[in-house]
């Protein structure tokens, strides 16, 4: 998978870069996670483990027209912006 294909899938999922970073499992600072996705999208080849994950999620959405229900695992605390708030970014700078 190329970075351009990753960007295309992110757009199809109607996610900004921060939302997509959370989908991929990144839990750093918002700014770092946005930059990680930007680097992936501008790179030549996406690491295989991420390409597989993105492909699976995209296939799920295509078949069900909904995001997969991700479980909450005890012991995995996440202190950053809750996903519910990510659906309405304050500005368009993250896209």
Summarised one tens digit per residue, pLDDT across range 28-37 is: 899 999 999 9
How many other C-beta atoms can be found within 10 angstroms of the C-beta atom of residue 41?
19
Residue 17's Cβ-count burial label (10 Å; 0-12, 13-18, 19+) is buried
What does the pLDDT read at residue 93? 45
What are the pLDDT digits (tens) for 24-66? 988 889 999 999 999 999 988 999 999 999 999 999 988 998 8
Full-model pTM: 0.72
**Residue for token pair 């005890």:** 74
Q: Given a cut of 70, is residue 88 above it in pLDDT?
A: no
Q: Given a cut of 70, is residue 92 above it in pLDDT?
A: no
Cα 41 from Cα 9, distance rounded (Å): 10
Percent of the chain with pLDDT over 90: 51
């Amino acid at each position: 998978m190329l970075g351009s294909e990753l960007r295309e899938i992110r757009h199809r999922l109607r996610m900004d870069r921060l939302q997509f970073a959370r989908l991929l499992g990144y839990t750093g600072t918002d700014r770092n996670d946005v930059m990680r996705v930007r680097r992936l999208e501008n790179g030549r080849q996406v690491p295989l483990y991420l390409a597989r994950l993105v492909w699976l999620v995209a296939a799920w959405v295509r078949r069900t027209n909904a995001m997969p229900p991700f479980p909450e695992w005890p012991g995995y605390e996440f202190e950053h912006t809750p996903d519910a708030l990510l659906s309405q970014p304050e500005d368009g700078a993250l896209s």
